[in-house]
Amino acid sequence: KEVISRLKTMRVFMGNMASPFTSWLILRSLETLKIRMEKSAKNADEIAKILNKHPKISKVHFLGLIDKLSKEYKVYKEQYSSNGGMISFDIKGGEKEAFEFLNALKLIKLAVSLGSTESLVQHPITMTHAGVDPEHRQKLNITEKMIRLSIGVENHEDIIKDIKQAFLAV
């Protein structure tokens, strides 16, 4: 009763009541959530392997690439059943090279809100984390050379082809 009371109060002040149509859309999309998440994760696995070997990348941040002997891997295996579809990587160079790469993408779209069925990309330091204290960003290793990918459900070969052609512009 206490939790419901707090939620009702928040709903009034925040106006976050979903309309019947929005609720129906959410309910409808839940039917395919599992297969969309599995496809995204499978695509991300393939893409992370390519990125991890690319000469224009200094580091790939992806759950599937965690060292199996590390303590982080143990925590990962306890908490997750999948690598997921999010990949971040540090491009060699800096902001200039990051924007050259981002501007050259054709299939993957630049977006602040990630998590669609289509592959999306962002530059965290100038987008989602622009307002974060620079010292805190540094502690989190969010730098001008970081690029974040949200891998969608497209054919992974098409995504890889787009990434490879974009690196030619860098």
Phi–psi pair at 146, nearest 5 degrees: -85, 135
Give the rounded percent of residues in the chain with a pLDDT score beyond 90: 85
How far from the centroid of its chain's Cα atoms is residue 27's Cα?
23
pTM of the complete model: 0.84
How far CA 74 is from CA of 8, 59, 62, 71, in Å, comes to 39, 21, 15, 5
Mean pLDDT (whole number) for 66-71: 93
Whole-number Å distance between alpha carbons of 143 and 138: 7
How far CA 168 is from CA of 101, 146, 159, 163, in Å, comes to 8, 18, 15, 9
Instruction: For residue range 102-112, list pLDDT tens digits in order.
Output: 999 999 999 98
- Paired tokens of 62: 């992806």
3-state secondary structure of 115: coil
Mean pLDDT (whole number) for 153-161: 97
Instruction: For residue range 125-151, list pLDDT tens digits in order.
Output: 999 999 999 999 999 999 999 999 999
Highest mean pLDDT among 10-19, 21-30, 47-56, 114-123: 47-56
